Amino acid sequence: MKWYHSIITKISLIFLLAIFGVIAILYIFINNQMQKDLDNAEQLARYALHSSYDEFNRKINFKNLKNLGLRLVKDKDIRKKVLAKNLFFKTHKRVPNMMQRMMGVNAKAVAYDKSIYIVVKRRNSKAMVFATSFKKEMFPSIFPILSVLFVILLYIATIKNILPLYALRKKIKLFASGDYEIDCTSNNKDEIGILANEFNVAVIKIKNLRDSRQLFLRNIMHELKTPIAKGRFATEITQDMDLKKALQSIFNRQEYLIEEFARIEKLNANELKLDKKEYLLEDVIDFSLDILNHDKSQVIKHITKAKLTVDFELFGTALKNLLDNGINYSFDSKVKISNTSDEIIIENRGDKLEFPIENYAKPYFLKGQKQKSSRGLGFGIYIVLNILKLHDMPIVYKRDNDINLFIIKYI
C-alpha cells in the first residue's frame, strides 16, 4: 500500500493543518488583546501626565503620577531592557496629540516580563520608564500552548484508535490463507473494536461450519469407500479373470469418482495447497496417462524436452482431465498432446464447446444445463480451470475447422 493511500497519512495532514490554523488564530487573537491592553495603558498614562503636569512651572508632578498609578522605575537593569524593547521613538510615526505637543512629551506602552511599562520622553531629556498597575495575563500566553497540546493529544488518541486496524488486517490475511485459529477480540468500545468483535464472531461461525463440513466429508468418504474395499476383496477371490478385470475397472472408477468429488469440494473451499517444484514435462504427462480412464494408445504424444514448476499431482490431474474430455468428446476417440517452448497444446476432433471456456470455471455452472453426453462428470474442465488458476497459468480455447485446441501457457 502506498503511503498516500494510508488513512493515518490523511489524518496526520488534517491535524497538521489544524495545528497551524489554531496557532495562526491564537496569534492574531493574542496580538489584538495585547494591543488593547497597551492602548488602555497609554490612555491612562496620557491622562495621568496631563493631570500631573504643572503648566506654570512646566514640570511633571511625580508624586501625583504615583498616586495615579505610574511609578518611576529606578532599576537600571529593568530600564535598559524596557527601553531595548521600545521601538516607538525610532519607528512609530503616530502624530502627537494636543497634550503631547503642549508638554513636549511622548508616551509609549511596552510589555515586558508580565508587566506593562510606560516609556516617556520629553524634549532634550532622557527617556523615563514608569511601571503601571497593568499586568500581562498569563492566560493568553498559556492558552495557545494548551490548545496545541490538546490538538496533539487528540491526534495521538485518534492514531491509537486506528492502529488496531493494522493488526486486524493481518489477522484477516491469515484467515483468508486458511488460518481459522485467529482471535480478533477487542476491548475497545469504538467502531473499530465493534468491527473486530463482529469479525471474530463471523470467524467462529465459519470455523464451526468448516469443522462440520470436514466431519461430514470424512464420514461420507468412509461410508463410500467401505463397500468399494469390500468389493475389491471379493474381486480378488473370484476365479473368472474377465469378471475380475471388469469388477476392478468398476471399483477403480468409483474410487476415482470419490477422489474427484473430494477435489471439487476442496476447490470450492479454497483448501487446495500447492507443493510446487520443477519437473520434466514428460514425467508429468506420463503420470497423467497412468491415471487416465482410457487406454494410453488413444493419446498421441508429440513432446519435446521441457521443464515446468508445478504441483506434480495436481497439474497431472488437470492434464488427465483434459485428455479424458478430449477422448470422451472426440469423433475418433483420440486426443493429441504436444508442446512448444512455453505452451502445452491438447487437441481433438469434435464438436465446439457449447459455452465460453471461462463459464466452466464457475462452480456448478453445468448444473441445470442440458448435456449433450453423459460420458463425463461435467466437472472436468471446472477442475482443470481452477487448478491452472492456482498455478497462475492461463488456458486458451481455440477452434480450427473441426479441431478443438486447449492451449496452456506454462511460462
Residue 291: CB atoms within 10 Å: 17
Give the Cα separation of 168 and 197 in Å (integer). 10
| 161 burial level (CB within 10 Å; 0-12, 13-18, 19+) | middle
| 158 burial level (CB within 10 Å; 0-12, 13-18, 19+) | middle
Helices and strands (DSSP H and E) totals, the chain: 12, 13
Give the Cα separation of 246 and 241 in Å (integer). 9
User: Which DSSP string do the residues of 112-172 spell out, in sequence order?
Assistant: ETTEEEEEEEETTS--EEEEEEEE--HHHHHHHHHHHHHHHHHHHHHHHHHTHHHHHHHHH
Residue 41 near residue 116 (C-beta atoms within 8 A): yes
- 279-285-291 Cα angle (round to 5): 120
CATH number for the domain whose boundaries are 273-409: 3.30.565.10
Rounded to a whole number of angstroms, the distance between the first and last alpha carbons of the chain is 28
- Reported as a single tens digit per residue, the pLDDT across 212-253 is 877 887 888 888 888 888 888 888 888 888 888 888 878 877
Residue 59: strand, helix, or coil: strand
Domain locations along the chain:
3-140, 178-251, 273-409
For helices 380-390 and 241-268, give the axis angle rounded to 10 degrees. 50
pLDDT at 302: 94
Give the Cα separation of 206 and 200 in Å (integer). 10
Residue 2: strand, helix, or coil: coil
Among 388, 396, 394, residue whose Cα is nearest residue 276? 388
Name the residue with cell 493494522.
166
Amino acid sitting at position 110: V
Residue 92: strand, helix, or coil: coil
DSSP letter (8 states) at residue 362: S
pLDDT at 365: 57
DSSP letter (8 states) at residue 298: G
pLDDT at 347: 95
CATH class assigned to 178-251: mainly alpha
User: Which DSSP string do the residues of 18-72 spell out, in sequence order?
Assistant: HHHHHHHHHHHHHHHHHHHHHHHHHHHHHHHHHHTEETTTTEE-HHHHHHTT-EE
Residue 39 near residue 109 (C-beta atoms within 8 A): yes
pLDDT at 53: 67
Lookup: cell for 33: 488583546
Residues of the chain with confidence (pLDDT) below 50: 88-96, 98-99, 101-102, 367-368, 370-377
Give the Cα separation of 146 and 151 in Å (integer). 9
Query: Residue 79: left if φ>0, alpha if ψ -120 to 50, beta else—which one?
Result: alpha
Dihedral sign for Cα 123, 124, 125, 129, please.
positive
Among 380, 370, 280, 284, residue whose Cα is nearest residue 325? 380
Lookup: cell for 257: 469418482
Q: Is the pTM of this model over 0.95?
A: no
- Reported as a single tens digit per residue, the pLDDT across 352-380 is 988 888 877 765 555 445 444 444 445 67
Beta bridge partners of 353: none
Give the Cα separation of 66 and 71 in Å (integer). 5
Give the Cα separation of 405 and 78 in Å (integer). 100
Among 261, 257, 235, 230, residue whose Cα is nearest residue 247? 235
Residue 362: CB atoms within 10 Å: 12
pLDDT at 251: 82
Phi, psi of 118, rounded to the nearest 5 degrees: -115, 125
